[in-house]
Amino acid sequence: MATAVAKQSASASNLANLDTPGYRAHEVFSQVLDGEIADAAAMARTSAGHLAGTLPAPGPATLQESEGLPTRRDGNNVQLDRELLAMSRAAGDFSAAQTALAAKFRLVRYAINESR
């Protein structure tokens, strides 16, 4: 959810600077996949000899300049359509994560209530 919020914030910042001369668009780069792999490997480990290598810890989302975008004459490379699409995707990711989290809370609540 935090990554989705960071992506929405970056897109909002880019949109706010749509007409700022010389502004370069930014995007969020996150190592979420690294964190998921590390979590899965830790859960799957049944012996100290399994998966002997160390996996990287999940890193925070970082902001970096977008590359490969065409630049206008004023030096700005923000594209309205691209930013609106990025915001929509981030909103969908946030909604999906929120739904999954709510389902997990319902499952925990059910387990607590059924044990009485």
Separation CA 44–CA 65 (nearest Å): 36
Per residue in 65-112, pLDDT (tens digit) is 888 899 999 999 999 999 999 999 999 999 999 999 999 999 999 988
Q: Number of structural domains, the chain? A: 1
Distances (CA, A) of 67 to 9, 27, 53, 70: 18, 9, 33, 9
Residue 83 is part of which domain span?
2-114
SS3 88: helix
- Give pTM, 2 decimals: 0.67
What is the torsion angle, in degrees rounded to the nearest 10, for the CA atoms of residue 66, residue 25, residue 91 and residue 84?
-110
Beta bridge partners of 27: 64
